[in-house]
A and B are shown apart, each in its own frame.
Chain A
Amino acid sequence: MTRILSNEYNLLTARVFLGVLLVVISIDKIADPASFARSIGDYRILTGTPAMILATVLPWMELLCGLALASGILIRGSSLLVGSLLVVFTLAVVSALLRDLDISCGCFTQDSSADRIGWLKIGENVALLALAAWLFFSENHRFSLDEYIRSRPPGS
């Protein structure tokens, strides 16, 4: 098990998968922050200006973390930030489910008829959280920009 978890190819696959996923899901939200703010508002936790500010910043966090993970730079910080965001998202979904809200997650698409919240969504988030935690605690990121920069001889 330890060997699988520390295998550099597995880590590369996980990093690129999570990175590309984050980049892809951020595009829609960046293009239409007002629509994303409405999705945030649907959770009845934040509305109005706070929701709009969150909708302005959050997609860029996803994009930057995605690019950083895919290229292998600032891996620790990106995975920590992604993990923290996933914890918050999961708590929001749980709270909405406990309040019987039948709303769209707003995670992958801004189409309000698709991507409904449910226990499956929580499972999805937990799986992604495990991936982020794995990347955060791993040392062996051989195929990464961080490692490339570190391994270059000084002065080159």
Chain B
Amino acid sequence: MMRWRTGFREAVIMALCASVLGFVYTGITRKGVFAAEFSRGPAASRPGEQSSIIHVDEAKELYESGRALFIDARHPFEFALGHIRDAVNIPLGEFEKRQGQIDSLPRDKVLVTYCDGVQCNSSIGLAVRLREAGFQSVRIFFAGWNEWQARGLPVTKTAK
């Protein structure tokens, strides 16, 4: 019993110290929750990103006009399960590794990033990275895959 009590007390102390250190470190280095590109949702994002968020009707219009290339920011596995028809997959976590693919993206089209929907932020993160890479015309379809599917808009399913 004593062993558990000591262990539990020490574990709580370590967890508290880790929390303090984690937040102090990320606060000083402006990483994680304190990073500029991290937001709690579209309302908290930078003014630039806020204005480039498009709704499903606008996304549909861009899609049908052929003026846009949709970029799926999700994991390749999810992309394989289903994605917006003609979209390309650039997972946010693989941005550096996909430099060749990024360089070959058309500069005369509107790039529309999306992920699952309101519960994810990688569409915003990817849009930020694309702008940093020099792409001027980037839009964020924040409602994402869930909304696109719910509306019965064109999709491609490449795996089970």
A residues near B (Cβ < 8 Å) are 30, 32-35, 37-39, 41-42, 47-49, 52-53, 55-61, 63-65, 68, 74, 76-81, 84, 101-103, 110, 112-113, 136-137
Q: Determine if B77 and A48 form an interchain contact, defined as CB atoms under 8 angstroms apart.
A: no
Contacts of A49 in B (CB 8 A): 33, 40
Q: How far is the CB of A61 from chain B (nearest CB, A)?
A: 4
| Given A60-B21, A101-B77: A34 in contact with B14 (beta carbons within 8 A) | no
| Given A60-B19, A76-B6: A81 in contact with B31 (beta carbons within 8 A) | no
Contacts of B38 in A (CB 8 A): 34, 52
Q: Determine if A74 and B14 form an interchain contact, defined as CB atoms under 8 angstroms apart.
A: yes
Interface size on B, residues (CB 8 A): 39
B15-51 to A contact mask, C-beta < 8 Å, 1/0: 1011101110110000111010110110000000000
| Chain B residue nearest in CB terms to A38 | B93
Q: Determine if A64 and B3 form an interchain contact, defined as CB atoms under 8 angstroms apart.
A: no
B residues near A (Cβ < 8 Å) are 3, 6-15, 17-19, 21-23, 25-26, 31-33, 35, 37-38, 40-41, 75, 77, 91-94, 97, 119-122, 125
Q: How far is the CB of A58 from chain B (nearest CB, A)?
A: 8
Q: Which of A32, A41, A65 has the most CB of B within 10 A?
A: A41
Q: Determine if B19 and A77 form an interchain contact, defined as CB atoms under 8 angstroms apart.
A: no
Contacts of B125 in A (CB 8 A): 34
Q: Can you list 11 A-B pairs with a CB-CB distance of less than 8 A?
A: A33-B31, A41-B120, A42-B75, A47-B120, A52-B38, A57-B19, A57-B22, A74-B13, A74-B14, A84-B11, A113-B97
| Chain A residue nearest in CB terms to B27 | A56
Contacts of B14 in A (CB 8 A): 61, 64-65, 68, 74, 77-78, 81
| Chain B residue nearest in CB terms to A106 | B93
Q: Determine if B119 and A77 form an interchain contact, defined as CB atoms under 8 angstroms apart.
A: no
Q: Determine if A112 and B94 form an interchain contact, defined as CB atoms under 8 angstroms apart.
A: yes
